[in-house]
Amino acid sequence: MNTQIRTVVVEREIAHPPEKLWRALTQPHLIAEWLMRNDFAPVIGHKFTLSGDWGSVECDVLAVEPGKTLTYTWNHPHADPAFDLRSVVSFTLTPTGSGTLLRMEQSGFRPEQKQAFGGARHGWEQNFTNLERVLAELE
Name which position in 39, 69, 101, 121 contacts other proteins (CB under 8 A): 121
44 binds other proteins (CB under 8 A): no
- The three state secondary structure string of 71-130 is EEEEEECCCCCCCCEEEEEEEEEEECCCCEEEEEEEEEECCCCCCCCHHHHHHHHHHHHH
Name which position in 3, 10, 43, 79 contacts other proteins (CB under 8 A): 10
30 binds other proteins (CB under 8 A): yes
DSSP 60: E
Name which position in 39, 53, 65, 132 contacts other proteins (CB under 8 A): 132
Closest separation in Å from C-beta 113 to other proteins? 6
Task: Reduce the DSSP state of residue 133 to 3 states and report it.
Answer: helix
Contact region with other proteins (CB under 8 A), list: 37-45, 57-65, 124-132: 124-132
